[in-house]
Structure 1
Amino acid sequence: MGMIRIAHISDTHITNEGAFKGYAFDLIVEEINRGNFDFVIHTGDITNQGLREEYEQAAYQLKKIQKPLVVLPGNHDVRNVGYKLFEDFIGPLNGVYEFRDGVVIWVDSTIPDLSDGRIGGHKFRWLKERLEEYSDRRFKIVAAHHHLVPLPDTGRERNVLFNAGDVLDLLLRHGVTLYTCGHKHVPNVYRVEDLIIDNAGCTSCKKTRKGDVNSYNIIELYDDGRVRVTIRRVTGDEITKEHKPVKPKIFVPSGRRLFRIVQMSESNVSDRVYFRRKTLENVVRMINERLRPDLVVHNGDMVDAGIERYYERAYEYYKLVKPQKILVPGHNDITYLGHELFQEYFGEPEVLELGDIVIIPVLSAQYETPIGVVGRMGQKKLRNTLREYEGKFRIVVMHHNVIPVPKSREIGFLEDAGDVLKVLTDEGTELVLTGHGGNAFGVKIENTPIVNAGSVSWELHRNPFGNSFNLVDIYTDMVVVWEVQSTWGSRKLLGIWKRKKH
């Protein structure tokens, strides 16, 4: 069986100062030169400060690699107007590399003098055009510097790709095989639907995380569609993950429906003009008369501000909802007196056990900021609770999204999203429901479907479908999620995922 083998290096941080570990670079380069690699991808931060003397040294060091080499810029490379020097010493900032049955499309995600990233405007359109141009290729690889989904063990979630949700959506729509990146100095591999997201650690920089050592990744693409990624550390330790694309892509539920959930968010009840009172009243009628779910989940921002007048109004609306409810506070809910008022009107959310279905609420909202946090103690509690109910269908409910949402500016809204996402996927959580960002989106990461609700009745949303809520149907063999338009009740499929076997 044929196979393409790629070495993925990143974050070399070449400099005359102490940040660069020359011996680690030489050791990895020697392994690559001896190995049967078809080519090498370097996903940025070649230099440490983007200075001319560093680029001169980098050009010399990179010549040691005796394989075809794709190199793209990182945030450190564009410091001090280093993007001009990158083109002089390294090559184009964006480009295409073709190989047998495949293509690498690399794109500059850097913003001068910022650690954050963006693939916006012209570059986003350019990337879309290239994906359309090479749509017939069996293997489509997109390479950029910045990470696409939150990573564990990186400290506070920041320096993100501002339009990560749009980029993720674009890659999924175009059947991209692999997104390869660096930036956070942590090696990691996630499967998002059939897209592999491959983060390299740092090849030759002293700044590793939690005492880790330097590493690089080995990517193997097989003719039958399998993708295997191996994280190889300079100590010789290896971790390998393999994925085979799911076929067929369309499923029809064959078992009976066990449970139905209406998931909503951002009702933002208030007396402001942006609150669509009639829309929320219509949704309440739909829930009671037509949909008749077993449970209603509200993922936060029930009110626009934490004042008693708004809570009184919200209580009047939601007491009309007949099915059982579980409500978690969003950041708007706990502004001003909201922390006390939420508990007074709706109570503290607690674990809800309904036969084989267990709903686990997670509190992430903080006072007076849209930035959320679960915290190290909260993560430990979440992991223990998931393990306590192992064997049941566990649904984690929280306000802040743990995956980027299309059409919103990602600024690391959950500051420990990487570690929280790791807990959720490590424990094989059956379903995660979130509600921040004003747009509906659903993807499966590893074995865990993660579904974000749009705004149910607030005019300031980001959803072309309009105000909406989600209808989650759990069958014996799969989970089906529909997005339902709040005014008309029309539906569109948001996601359908096979259930894992216990």
Structure 2
Amino acid sequence: MLIAQISDPHVRPAGQLYQGVVDSNRMFEEAIAHLHALDRRPDLVLLTGDLVDEGRSEEYAEARRLLAKLSIPYLVIPGNHDHRENFRTAFADHAYLPATGALHYCIDTHPVRIVALDSCIPGLHHGHVDAEGLAWLQRTIEADREKPTLLMLHHPPFTSGIPYMDSYRYIDTAPLEAIVRSVGNIELVLCGHVHRTMLKRWAGTVVCSCPSSTTEIALQLAPDAAPASYLGRPGCMLHLWDEAQGMVSHVSYIGKMDGPYPFA
């Protein structure tokens, strides 16, 4: 099974730029075209939050217009820039999304089970899951301790070292870590939020964050570094599952490169 992951497209109303400088809508459209052009078609696409920039209804209308071009099944979770109720309304045809409350769900119709956790707090930018959500997660993952499982949420549950990202990280990770560690079949924890690829061994598994299809947040580790981003190389992730070989993840850069050349 090949699972593609796109994150943080920050779609704007038609004709408007992200942060006034970046055509995030065009770049999201290019990311969708990139998935269609891969030499192996993904079986599923995961969109791990910040689908739009300000949570506005007109942004979701534009996002749905762009997603109508995606011919691969996809699943969505919100990010801190999304508005939960507008998000729910925009994806009302996605029957897996709960009708009320946080947008946690489980999809168990693929060779890999997908467990989605809504780590967003309405009106705030840092991540957290309340006791009710953690209890739901505990019940859900304990229902099958054998099937390979991906857990996805928007906020990575670790400190990255980039100060202006860590100021609104997932807070109080210990309860979530204990639940994930209690089972042995979580192949990967997939996240967005940080607009970069990061890897961390955590809770007996691996956390992998996805680059943004729009901008790249600057890698600055000085504790007093000022927030900065680049219009760098956009990318997505490809997670390849094989029953014999397990899971392997690849960064797939979006856009044209020189080549191919006849060597490897």
Q: Check whether TM > 0.5.
A: yes
What displacement does 1:28 show? Answer: 1.7
Post-superposition shift, 1:98? 2.1
CA RMSD for the aligned pairs? 2.0
- Residue 260 of structure 2 aligns with which residue? none
**Alignment partner of 1:112 out of 105, 114, 122:** 122
Aligned equivalent of 1:197: 207
Aligned to 1:231: 251
What is the rounded CA distance, in whole Å, between the counterparts of 2:135 and 2:48 in structure 1?
Answer: 21
User: Is 1:23 equivalent to 2:26 in the alignment?
Assistant: yes
SS of corresponding position for 1:114: coil
Which secondary structure state, in structure 2, belongs to the residue aligned with residue 185 of structure 1?
coil
Partner residue of 2:75?
Answer: 70
Identity among equivalent pairs (%): 20
How many matched pairs?
Answer: 228
Residues 1:142 and 2:183 aligned together: no
Report the structure number with the largest CA radius of gyration: 1
In structure 2, give the amino acid aligned to 1:101.
P
2:234 is aligned to: 214
Structure with bigger RCO (C-alpha 8 Å, 6+ apart): 2
Partner amino acid for 2:210?
A
Q: Judge conservation of contact 1:103–1:134 (CA < 8 Å) in 2.
A: no
Shift of 1:235: 4.6
- Note the alpha carbon deviations across 1:317-367, whole angstroms, 9 max, x for none: xxxxxxxxxxxxxxxxxxxxxxxxxxxxxxxxxxxxxxxxxxxxxxxxxxx
Alignment-mate amino acid for residue 7 of structure 1: A
CA distance in 2, matches of 1:156, 1:69: 27
CA distance in 2, matches of 1:13, 1:235: 18
| SS of residue paired to 1:166 | helix
- Secondary structure of the residue aligned to 1:171 is helix
The Cα shift of 1:209 comes to 2.5
Residues 254-291 of structure 1, C-alpha deviation per residue, up to 9 Å, x if partnerless? xxxxxxxxxxxxxxxxxxxxxxxxxxxxxxxxxxxxxx
Q: Deviations over 1:80-127 (max 9, x none)?
A: xxx111111124222112243321010111001111111111111011
2:25 matched to 1:5?
no
Counterpart secondary structure, 2:5: strand
- Give 1 or 2: higher strand fraction: 1
For residues 156 and 88 of structure 1, the distance between their equivalents in structure 2, rounded to whole angstroms, comes to 29
From 35, 42, 51, the counterpart of 1:32? 35
Matches of 1:153 and 1:224 in 2, distance apart?
37
Q: TM-score, normalising length from structure 1?
A: 0.43
Matched, 1:133 2:153: no
Distance in 1, Cα, partners of 2:255 & 2:167: 29
Task: Tell me by how many angstroms 1:6 deviates.
Answer: 0.6
What is the rounded CA distance, in whole Å, between the counterparts of 2:42 and 2:62 in structure 1? 24
| Equivalent pair of 2:35/2:42 in contact (CA under 8 Å) | yes
Q: Which aligned runs of 4 or more in structure 1 are off by greater than 3 angstroms?
A: 152-156, 191-194
CA pair 219-15 structure 1, distance change in 2 beyond 3 A: same
- Runs (5+) with no aligned partner, structure 1: 238-502
The reply on whether 1:172 has 2:181 as its aligned counterpart is yes
Kept after mapping to 2: 8 A contact 1:5/1:37: yes
Following TM superposition, by how much is the alpha carbon of 1:213 offset from its aligned partner in structure 2, in angstroms? 2.4
Report the AA paired with residue 159 of structure 2. Answer: P
Residues 338-349 of structure 1: pairs in structure 2 closer than 5 A: none
DSSP 3-state at the match of 1:111: coil
Give the TM-score, by structure 2 length.
0.79
**Change in 2 beyond 3 A, CA 1:156/1:162:** closer
* Pair 157,180 (structure 1): closer, same or farther in 2 beyond 3 Å: same
Could you list the runs of 5+ residues in structure 2 that have no partner in the other structure?
98-102, 220-229, 258-264
Rounded Cα–Cα distance in structure 2 between residues aligned with 1:208 and 1:156: 9
- State the 1:193 CA deviation: 6.5
Distance, in Å, in 1 between the alignment partners of 2:164 and 2:86 is 31
Pair 1:89 & 2:98 matched: no
The 5 Å alignment of 1:384-463 reads: none
State the AA in 1 paired with 2:89: D
Instruction: Tell me, yes or no, if structure 1 residue 57 matches structure 2 residue 67.
Output: no
> What secondary structure is seen at the aligned counterpart in 2 of 1:112?
coil
1:179-328 correspondence runs (5 A): 179-192=189-202, 194-204=204-214, 206=215, 208-209=217-218, 211=230, 212-235=232-255
8 Å CA contact retained: 1:147, 1:161: yes
Q: Deviations over 1:176-220 (max 9, x none)?
A: 11110101111122333751211011113x464353321111111
Gap change, CA 1:49 and 1:34, over 3 Å in 2:
same
For the residue of structure 2 that corresponds to 1:183, the secondary structure is coil
Task: Give the AA of the match of 1:61.
Answer: L
Q: 1:208 to 1:18 in 2, by over 3 A?
A: farther
Find the aligned partners of 2:108 and 2:188 in 1 and give their Cα distance.
Answer: 15
The alpha-carbon deviation at position 146 of structure 1 amounts to 0.5
Distance 2:253 2:157 in 1: 23
**Does the C-alpha gap of structure 1 residues 216 and 223 become closer, same or farther in structure 2, counting only changes over 3 Å?**
same
